[in-house]
Amino acid sequence: MDGPGRIHSMDALRASTMLLLVPVHAAMVIALNGDGGVWATGLYWVVHVFRMPLFFAMSGFFLAFLLARKGLRETARNRTVRIAVPLAIGLVTLAPATIFAAQLVGTVLAPGEQGPPTGSPFELEPSFLWFLWYLLIVDAAAVALFLWAPRLLDRAGERFRSLIVHPVPGVLLLAVPTTLALWPEGDWTAVPSVSTFVPEPQVLAYYALFFALGAMLCVHRDQVAEAGRNAWTWAACALAATVPAALLFTFHNSPHASQPLLHGAALLVYAVATWTSLIALVGLAHRYIVRPRPALRYMADASYWIYLSHMPAVVLLVALLGATALGTAPKVVLVTAGALGFSMLTYPLLVRYTVVGRLLNGPRERPPRRGSSASPKPAPSGVGGKPASV
């Protein structure tokens, strides 16, 4: 990585993981409400090969970045303001709004449920905010290790680096604990129960592995540059692993899926696809996002609000389109566009220059009015500005 200015490529990856949540949730809610087309299932599965692991990897990257730049106290303050406070507010506002909307229009929200949510919308549960809760736990564990066992953390980082330096045996070795963590997951995606705050150990362990990858990449940035030089090779490996993993996934509900050997082999291929996809995406971002861009900076800032606010719009749009004769693909496109449109419209009006925006992304300067003699302050480093570092 060529100096601190190249942090913007990692920030762009962080933002993309949040933006991708909108089509994923659109496909999931559409499938849960009677339109279980192959297209929706395929989109959900393919994106989940890399999206959540990439989110935790970028979170690990930026936690290590903050610790190195700002120290322990400022990092703890940052994590509290950027994660704990939005999570607490979202649990009593946006999560209840999503449940209320689902009850109002009769929309199923979670796999395994036979109908819309029941009970009070204000019963505290993680809902779609679960990964902020899990991120908070992983962050706290990482900071505790940084504080009380720094040598252990350094040794773990060096071991992680040695695995990536020797990619073929390294990725295969990393795939083993990933496979074990995914073993109980019937749909191969590490998504915990959204109705309880009690963390599931195997899900925590699964995402902690990718978090560690991100932290290692921040400390050893030469590995980011190395991934950039070999980005297309990594991408080819990811594709070569994802195709057979997808074929094996089609059999996951068949009687053969109960055979431990086949189940383990399929999860191992899937894990290889995930690790190679992550390294490929890091390399491609480093290779092609070479300078700050204001449009990317704006989307990176808006992405956190999009993640927090999109779900009520998804629920209402799925109900609105449910009675139409549209196919699955057009529904996913329309619901995604509508939910993104809602969030992008409300972001500059309600968030960007308000206390909400300060919580999510830090302060942002309003551009001077046309004709004003005031000159704007130079933007900090990042994708045209300061990384949100969620």
For residue range 86-143, list pLDDT tens digits in order. 999 999 999 999 999 999 999 988 877 778 888 888 888 898 899 999 999 999 999 9
Q: Is the pLDDT of residue 378 over 60?
A: no
d(CA 346, CA 355): 14
Q: Give the integer Cα–Cα distance in Å for 352 and 143.
A: 29
Record the pTM.
0.89
Instruction: Look up residue 353 and give its two tokens.
Output: 């220059």
Is the pLDDT reported for residue 253 higher than 70?
A: no
Q: If pLDDT is split at 50, 70 and 90, which confidence band does 262 have? A: confident
- What does the pLDDT average to over 236-265? 82
pLDDT at 323: 77
Better pLDDT: 74 or 248: 74
10 Å Cβ neighbour count for 152? 11
The more confidently predicted of residues 34 and 198 is 198
The amino acid sitting at 97 is A
Q: Band the pLDDT of 4: cuts 50, 70, 90.
A: very low
> In the prediction, which pLDDT does 383 show?
44
pLDDT score of 389: 60
Tens of pLDDT along 280-316? 999 999 999 877 788 888 888 999 999 999 999 999 9
Residue owning tokens 């900071």: 143
Task: Transcribe 182-204 into DSSP letters.
Answer: HTT-TTS-----TT--S--HHHH
- HSE-up of 303 (CA within 13 Å, CB side)? 24
Residues 81 and 237: their CA atoms lie apart, in Å, by: 39
Of 123-132, 146-155, 229-238, 373-382, the range with the lowest mean pLDDT is 373-382
Output 69 or 39, whichever has higher pLDDT: 69
pLDDT number for residue 100 = 93
Share of residues in the chain with pLDDT > 70 (%): 90
Q: ∠ CA(170), CA(154), CA(147), 5° rounding? A: 135
Residue 242 has pLDDT above 60, yes or no: yes
Mean pLDDT of 168-194: 87
| pLDDT at 390 > cutoff 80 | no
Paired tokens of 26 = 């659109």
Most confident of 118-122, 346-350, 362-366: 346-350
- The overall average pLDDT reported for the chain is 86
Share of the chain above pLDDT 90, in %: 51
Tokens at 291, concatenated: 């300078």
Token reading at 351: 């968030």
pLDDT single digits (tens) 52-88:
999 999 999 999 999 999 999 999 999 999 999 999 9
Q: Please state the three-class secondary structure of 120-141 as a single string.
A: CCCCCCCHHHHHHHHHHHHHHH
What pLDDT, on a 0 to 100 scale, did the predictor assign at position 370?
A: 62
Are the beta carbons of 205 and 178 closer than 8 angstroms? no
